[in-house]
Structure 1
C-alpha cells in the first residue's frame, strides 16, 4: 500500500494542469492568500475522500479476493486504462495553438476571490488519480501506526508542489515572482508533453498493479 500511495501522491503533485493553475493563482494580486485558500480546500478534499473510505472499511483491510478487495483492484485497473487512453489521445492530437489573450485572462484572475480560489481546488484535482489513491487506502489497517504515517505522507506528498510554491512566495516574494513567472512560461511551452508523460506513466503503473492484484 505504501509504495502505491507514494507513487500516486507524486503523480498528483506534478500533475501539470494543477501546477499551472496554482502558479496562475499565486501570480495575481493577493496571490499568497488565495493560494493558501486553494491549498486548504485541496487538502480538505483528500481528508474527505480518505475519511469516507476508512469509514466504509472500518479501518480494517478487506480479505484478499473479497468483493471490496476485488473492487478496489478493479478501480485501479479502470483508472489506469482511462489514463492511458487519455494520454494517448493527447499525444495523437498534439499541442493546440494558444491565443494571445493572456492579459485579459490575468485581469479576470486579479478579481478572483479567496473563496473562488478555494472552490477551484476541487475542480482542478486529477480525480482519476485521487480515485486510485482512494482504492489503495481500502487496504489501510488503522490498528497499525504505520498506516497513519502513510496516509499523512500521501496527503503531504500530493500537496508538496503547491506547498513549496506557497512557502517560497511567502519567504521571498520578489524572487518567487520571477521564478514562478519562468515556471509558468516553461509549463505553457511544455505542458502538453508533461501531461502526456505523467498520464502514461501513472496509467502503466496502475494497469500493472490492478492486473497483478486481480490475478494474484
Structure 2
C-alpha cells in the first residue's frame, strides 16, 4: 500500500493544470488568502475521500478474491488503462499552441469561496480514485498505516503548501519566480500530462494485473 500511495501522491502533486491555476491565483489581490482557501478545500477533499473509505471498510481489507476486493482491483485497472490510453492519444496529437482558458482571466475577482471551489474541481479525480481503491485493500491496524495515509495527503498537497508559504513570507520574490514557473509549466503542460498519465497508468495496470492474477 505504501509504495502505491507514494506514487499516486507524487503524481497528484505534480499535475500541471492545478499548479498553474494555483500560481495565478496567488498573484491576484488577496492571493495568499485565496491560496489558503484553495489548499484547505483540496486537502479537505482528500481527507473526506479517505475517511469515507475507512468508514466503509472499517479499516479491514475485503477477503482476497471476494467481490469487493476484485471490484477495487478492477477499478484500479480501468483507471490505469484509461490513463495510458489518454496519454497515448495526447502524445499522438502532439503539442499545440495553447490558449489560457477564459476562466483563468477572471481569477482577479474570484472570492474565497470560488478559490475553494477550484480546489475541489481541479483535483485529479482519477488519481484520487486510484488512491481510494488502494486504501480499500489496506489493513489499517497500526499507527504506521495511518502515517502512510498522512504521507499520501502531504505528498499530494506539498507543492501547493510550498508555494503558499513562499508567497506568504517572500511575496516579491515569489511573484517573479512562481510566474516563471507557471510560464514553464504552461509551455510543457502537454509533455507533463503525457508523462505523468503514462507512468501512473502503467504502474496501476501492472500492479492490478499482478494482484488479480
CA contact (8 A) 2:35 2:164 kept: yes
Instruction: Name the residue aligned to 1:163.
Output: 161
CA contact (8 A) 2:16 2:186 kept: no
Matches within 5 A, 1:1-216: 1-99=1-99, 108-215=106-213
Write out the 4+ residue segments of structure 1 that deviate beyond 3 Å after TM superposition: 104-107
CA contact (8 A) 1:28 1:106 kept: no
Unaligned stretches of 5+ in structure 2? none
TM-score norm. by structure 2 comes to 0.95
TM-score norm. by structure 1 comes to 0.94
How many residues are aligned here? 213
RMSD value, Cα: 1.5
Deviations along 1:111-159, whole A, 9 cap, x unmatched? 0111101011111011110000000011232321111100111001000
CA positional deviation for 1:107: 5.1
CA positional deviation for 1:64: 1.5
